[in-house]
């Protein structure tokens, strides 16, 4: 799944704001709105000062890097302020896009990439053309099918019992919950012995593009996730409801994808709820954006719980499991870091900075600052002047 710039992982590259005013864009910056349609690039931009970006139309993928080699991808959402020194460029995910960019009069620099970036579009790599037949078959002992080959694919899933087979002369035995796919042109036989019976599902299907050979001549022990999809396939293929055949095609395609992914996923991983995972990530992202946009406002962890309808324990778990810090410490660290930046500007007194960032008192602010940085705000200000 694509990540948006509101994802907490983007914080290492910059900050996200609700509007350009909140982002603090300087009026002296150069502003342009540019139209893009490229799907690749071979160089990065970078600047010694902050760069501001916002999408105007279409869908824009922002590619960012700290070292000009390893990169991360984020779909631009809301107003972005990139940190100085971050390498970046973008492509249009939609056919065309417009993006607003603002930067210092000193301009943008460019760095040539060793390997060009090419956006990988989300398009189907498995083009399932047609389901030809679907049978549930029950075979008694001593069943013997002498064999055949054909120009389409055939999936066999064992529901009960055992089935002996040969594929291009090589013997196989499939037991309960085993699955195999015959490829076009493969000669295959099937049989049961005198002690065995077998019930199995056979699906024949055609593809617009050839499947690669990684699934050929391989017996799969069906996991729970594959079994559940096969069950849904059977329900859809027997239904008379409108577009139920479309569902059957989708379920069969899902089975094929799960077989391709078979070696990279355990049975336990297949039971993870991705919707719950996505919900938690999205909620955390929105909370972090709110915190960043309200640094100069006094609010508590309880205020966050109320605003986002989440219990304090759930909020604690959300922060600890994703960014390994409590909400209270996260907010404190962010405010103290902002205090350092304000002190460096020499525009405000220590007391004014404490009030601006919503600390309950200058004494509490000074104590927290010294605990974090090893010196008081006053001493830090003096050290800058030296």
Residue 30 lies in a domain: yes
Do 168 and 210 sit in the same domain of this protein?
yes
Residue 273 has pLDDT above 60, yes or no: no
Residue 272 has pLDDT above 50, yes or no: no
pLDDT for position 27: 64
Instruction: Write out pLDDT tens, residues 198-257.
Output: 989 999 999 998 999 999 999 999 998 999 999 999 999 999 999 999 999 999 999 999
Do 179 and 102 sit in the same domain of this protein?
no
Do 335 and 287 sit in the same domain of this protein?
yes
Last residue of a domain, one of 86, 118, 150: 118
Do 33 and 136 sit in the same domain of this protein?
no
Q: Longest C-alpha distance within the chain, in Å?
A: 95
Do 248 and 147 sit in the same domain of this protein?
yes
Q: What percent of the chain has pLDDT over 70?
A: 95
Instruction: Look at the block and give the residue holding tokens 């594959």.
Output: 226
Instruction: Write out pLDDT tens, residues 289-339.
Output: 899 898 888 889 999 999 888 899 989 998 988 888 899 999 999 999 999
Last residue of a domain, one of 231, 264, 297: 264
Do 160 and 207 sit in the same domain of this protein?
yes
pLDDT for position 134: 94
Do 307 and 380 sit in the same domain of this protein?
yes
pLDDT for position 20: 81
Q: What is the DSSP letter of 263?
A: G
**Which range marks the domain in which residue 193 is found?**
128-264
Do 194 and 309 sit in the same domain of this protein?
no
Q: What percent of the chain has pLDDT over 90?
A: 68
Q: What's the structural domain count of the chain?
A: 3
Residue 102 lies in a domain: yes
Identify whether the C-beta of residue 274 lies closer than 8 Å to the C-beta of residue 333.
no
Measured in whole angstroms, the distance separating CA 362 from the mean position of its chain's CA atoms is 42
First to last CA, the chain: 50
H helices within the chain, ranges in order? 20-23, 224-238, 244-260, 274-293, 301-307, 312-323, 327-345, 350-356, 362-373, 377-385
Do 198 and 144 sit in the same domain of this protein?
yes
Mean pLDDT of the chain: 90
**CATH number of 97's domain:** 2.60.120.10
Residue 3 lies in a domain: no
Do 331 and 368 sit in the same domain of this protein?
yes
Compute the distance between CA of residue 216 and CA of residue 30 in angstroms, rounded to an integer.
58
Compute the distance between CA of residue 84 and CA of residue 280 in angstroms, rounded to an integer.
30
Compute the distance between CA of residue 331 and CA of residue 298 in angstroms, rounded to an integer.
11
With H, G, I as helix, E, B as strand and everything else as coil, classify residue 179. Answer: strand
Last residue of a domain, one of 264, 295, 324: 264
Instruction: Give the total residue count for the chain.
Output: 386
pLDDT for position 320: 87
Do 134 and 254 sit in the same domain of this protein?
yes
Residue 170 lies in a domain: yes
Compute the distance between CA of residue 65 and CA of residue 74 in angstroms, rounded to an integer.
11
Residue 384 has pLDDT above 80, yes or no: no
Do 132 and 254 sit in the same domain of this protein?
yes
> What is the rounded radius of gyration, in angstroms, for the C-alpha atoms of the chain?
30
Instruction: Write out pLDDT tens, residues 120-148.
Output: 998 888 899 999 999 998 888 899 999 99
Compute the distance between CA of residue 5 and CA of residue 237 in angstroms, rounded to an integer.
41
pLDDT for position 267: 56
């Amino acid at each position: 799944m694509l990540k948006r710039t509101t994802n907490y992982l983007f914080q290492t590259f910059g900050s996200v704001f609700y509007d350009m005013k909140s982002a603090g864009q300087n009026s002296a910056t150069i502003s342009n709105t540019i139209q893009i349609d490229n799907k690749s690039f071979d160089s990065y931009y970078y600047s010694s000062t902050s760069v501001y970006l916002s999408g105007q139309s279409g869908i824009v993928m922002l590619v960012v890097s700290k070292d000009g080699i390893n990169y991360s991808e984020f779909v631009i959402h809301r107003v972005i302020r990139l940190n100085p020194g971050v390498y970046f460029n973008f492509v249009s995910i939609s056919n065309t896009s417009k993006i607003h960019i603002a930067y210092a009069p000193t301009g943008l620099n460019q760095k040539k990439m060793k390997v060009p970036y090419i956006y990988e579009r989300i398009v189907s790599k498995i083009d399932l053309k047609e389901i030809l037949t679907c049978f549930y078959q029950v075979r008694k002992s001593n069943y013997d099918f002498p064999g055949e080959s054909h120009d389409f694919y055939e999936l066999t899933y064992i529901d009960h019992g055992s089935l002996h087979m040969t594929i291009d002369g090589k013997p196989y035995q499939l037991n309960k919950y085993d699955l195999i796919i015959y490829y076009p042109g493969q000669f295959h036989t099937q049989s049961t012995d005198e002690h065995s019976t077998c019930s199995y599902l056979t699906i024949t299907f055609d593809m617009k593009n050839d499947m690669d050979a990684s699934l050929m001549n391989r017996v799969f022990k069906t996991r729970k996730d594959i079994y559940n999809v096969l069950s849904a396939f059977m329900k859809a293929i027997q239904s008379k409801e409108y577009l139920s055949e479309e569902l059957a095609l989708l379920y069969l395609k899902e089975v094929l994808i799960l077989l391709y992914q078979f070696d990279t996923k355990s049975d336990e991983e297949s039971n993870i709820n991705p919707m719950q995972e996505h919900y938690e990530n999205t909620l955390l992202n929105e909370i972090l954006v709110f915190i960043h946009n309200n640094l100069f406002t006094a609010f508590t962890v309880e205020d966050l719980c109320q605003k986002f309808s989440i219990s304090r324990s759930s909020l604690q778990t959300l922060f600890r499991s994703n960014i390994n810090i409590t909400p209270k410490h996260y907010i404190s660290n962010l405010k103290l870091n902002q205090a350092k930046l304000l002190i460096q500007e020499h525009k405000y007194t220590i007391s004014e900075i404490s009030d601006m960032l919503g600390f309950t008192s200058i004494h509490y602010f000074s104590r927290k600052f010294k605990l974090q940085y090893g010196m008081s705000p006053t001493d830090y200000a003096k050290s800058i002047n030296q």
